[in-house]
Structure 1
Amino acid sequence: MARLGLDDYGDEQPMHPTVSPAAGVESAAHLAGVPDEFQRLWTPHRLVYIQHGQQPDEHECPFCHAPAMPDDDALIVARGKHAFVLLNLFPYNSGHLLVCPYRHISTYDLATPDEVAEIGELTQTAMKVVRTVSRNDGFNIGMNQGVVAGAGIAGHLHQHIVPRWAQDANFLPIIAKTKALPQLLGDVREALADAWPAPSA
């Protein structure tokens, strides 16, 4: 089933024009500048994100569309009155969550007091649930405000909650530019949703 293209940290790089995408993986030895050890994996299907600054139009915002979808399709873990929690489709680690207000606002200073309060409450609950389910050692928590700050979807405010383990950064991201994720997104969503406390009456 198709999933939403939610967030990828805004780290796309332009494609090099000297080699056809059909070439697949190329050697870095002939590139201009100082050669490095990295190979380049061509992904032409993602060119639209580069050409348009990775920013969808407001009417195509995935964070606006997600609440209208079933939880398992949108990877939603929990819903509040003013904000909701869902999995990042391109996670840094398993259990990488996003807390979003329902309103389409771009920066934290535009949030109402009620939205700020619930984003904070959902963040605290998410930390407790992830810690219970995943036994992680720590968290990275933060918001990227604006394209220049690396927001993958700058038009809709979202807070990252990234669980961290003592040895979650191994040789793969450094040598192979690859992140190993041991659980499928659907399984992670189900585990976190099942552990999420029921709303108080």
Structure 2
Amino acid sequence: MGGIDHLWAGWRSAYLDAATSGGLGGERTGGSLFERILHGGQPDEESFVVHRGERCSSILNAYPYTSGHLLVLPNRAVAELEELDDPEMRDLWLEVRDAVAAIKRAYRCDGVNIGMNLGRAAGAGVPEHLHVHVLPRWHGDTNFMTAVAETRVMPEALPVSWRKLRDAWPTAATRS
């Protein structure tokens, strides 16, 4: 058997078609996938941009491990961590902090995974634009589908995840 299969999720096809055809911003060659999403002019609820910052932003993962799976990234394509300037590095980790707070508030999860895959050999799906995965986890959230059938079942549509996280995103007044 190969990698993990995913159950059909037709509600995501419009997003994926737009992302791969350049419809989420510029032509297909006009920047990284994430730059096209961030700078494409689509409304955030259609491009699933949860939060936009001056230097870094957060978007939903189009291929989530679980509902609420966010990608935190610099607004410009940077492949390597050491290529970030100091303000970008600071903003990236502040954005990760806010993403964790939003996930905890929106999903009432038992834990949070945070991770990066730098370079194709490390498993990066978009190696030219680094991003931090931030996703909720629950006790016992692995089930027989992943373990036996190598398939994930997504219980929530991306627009629902987007709304939950957008509503839960911290503001200056809610940060502790």
Asked if Structure 1 and Structure 2 have the same fold, meaning a TM-score greater than 0.5 normalized by the shorter chain, the answer is yes
Which residue of structure 1 aligns with residue 14 of structure 2? 2
TM alignment of 1:64-75, pairs within 5 A: 64-68=35-39, 69-75=42-48
The AA in structure 1 aligned to 2:15 is: R
Q: For each residue in 1:46-104, what CA deviation from the matched residue of structure 2 results, as whole angstroms up to 9, or x when unmatched?
A: xxxxxxxxxxx763521011112210111110011101000000000111100011111
* Residue 75 (structure 2) pairs with residue 102 (structure 1): yes
Q: Any gaps of 5 or more consecutive residues in structure 1?
A: 6-56
* Residue 127 (structure 2) pairs with residue 154 (structure 1): yes
Distance 2:36 2:149 in 1: 34
- Equivalent residue pairs, number: 151
Which residue of structure 1 aligns with residue 97 of structure 2? 124
Call closer, same or farther: CA 1:111–1:193 in 2, change over 3 Å. same
TM alignment of 1:1-201, pairs within 5 A: 2-4=14-16, 59=30, 61-68=32-39, 69-198=42-171
Whether the 8 Å CA contact 1:4–1:74 is kept in 2: the answer is no
The AA in structure 2 aligned to 1:80 is: G
Identity %: 36
Distance 1:168 1:141 in 2: 16
The AA in structure 2 aligned to 1:59 is: G
Whether the 8 Å CA contact 2:70–2:135 is kept in 1: the answer is yes
3-state SS of the aligned residue for 1:157?
coil
Q: Any gaps of 5 or more consecutive residues in structure 2?
A: 1-12, 18-27
Whether the 8 Å CA contact 2:101–2:170 is kept in 1: the answer is no
TM-score scaled by structure 2? 0.79
The two structures, once aligned, show a CA RMSD in angstroms of 2.1
Distance 1:194 1:79 in 2: 14
3-state SS of the aligned residue for 1:59?
coil
Distance 1:59 1:180 in 2: 33
Distance 1:93 1:154 in 2: 22
The AA in structure 2 aligned to 1:61 is: S
TM-score scaled by structure 1? 0.70
Which residue of structure 2 aligns with residue 22 of structure 1? none
User: 4+ runs of 1 displaced by more than 6 Å?
Assistant: none
